[in-house]
Amino acid sequence: MIYFKARIPVVQNITNPIEKMKVLLVFDFDHTIVNDNSDTWIVQCAPEKKLPYGLQHSYEKGKWTEYMGRVFGYLGEQGICEEDMKRIMIAIPYTPGMTELLQFIGQNKDNFDCIIISDSNTIFIDWILTHANVHAVFDKVFTNPAAFDRLGNLTVRNYHVHHCNECPRNLCKKKVLEEFVAKQTANQLQYSKIVYIGDGGNDLCPVTYLKKGDIAMAREGYTLQKRIAKEMDLIDSSLSVWSTGSEILSQLKLLLEK
């Protein structure tokens, strides 16, 4: 009688392995990538480069998008067209050293994913990044949707709905970051480290999402640095203070060496 050895099937792990470990770079936009506030910069389009007193003082806390809607409506009433706005917007200065930093990131996309989470709007950010030829550096831009209506006026909408009491009602950057990371993880891409680069008070909420080993980079002398100093108990990540893109670049190079 001949016996045949039973062929034991190889049991494969049906769970797909994590494909690649990258560093996720998260940028704010105003006073971080550019060295001013794009929403207030656009006021240079207005007659005498200023808004009427009533409009200028009509902002209500947490309702910035609604305020900017009124500003854009006023500019439209003054005959300010899309080309006028674009010409002003692409003249906004980048933060010193920032274009060199972005070029470095673009040359090292095997190591970095890079996103923007901003309270500006899609039109302004697209104009500014495209003009400097750095748009392709960013994998995603999360910001308030904007478009020109049939009359040629710029309109802007809230990015999403959220229930965070710490953030303006149009945008919670922490929620955006959480959802992005969760989606990436579901697509088998896990990050070895998250580096958050910002300056403003609305950057504190997403910084509280960071874990030990991540890095919060706060611009020196700006609100984020001051708020972190007062609320260090909320922060699990390490903190790095920067003033130019060149300083951030030096730290990213060190990360790659490690």
Q: Is 113 annotated as a binding residue?
A: no
Instruction: Provide CB contacts within 8 A for 254, sequence distance 6+.
Output: none
Q: What is the DSSP secondary-structure string of 190-230?
A: EEEEEEEEE-SGGGHHHHTT--BTBEEEEETTSHHHHHHHH
Q: Is 119 annotated as a binding residue?
A: yes
C-beta separation of 16 from 188 below 8 A: yes
Structural domains of the chain, with CATH: 20-36+94-144+158-257 (3.40.50.1000)
pLDDT at 21: 87
In 3D space, the residue among 68, 76, 70 whose CA is nearest the CA of residue 46 turns out to be: 76
pTM of the prediction?
0.90
C-beta separation of 169 from 62 below 8 A: yes
Q: Please give the positions annotated as active site.
A: 28, 30
Give me the phi and psi of 95, to 5 degrees please. -60, 140
Q: Is 30 annotated as a binding residue?
A: yes
In 3D space, the residue among 78, 92, 44, 73 whose CA is nearest the CA of residue 154 turns out to be: 73
Per-position pLDDT tens, the chain of length 258: 443 344 444 444 444 444 558 999 999 999 999 999 999 999 999 999 999 999 999 999 889 999 999 999 999 999 999 999 999 999 999 999 999 999 999 999 999 999 999 999 999 999 999 999 999 999 999 999 999 999 999 999 999 999 999 999 999 999 999 999 999 999 999 999 999 999 999 999 999 999 999 999 999 999 999 999 999 999 999 999 999 999 999 999 999 987
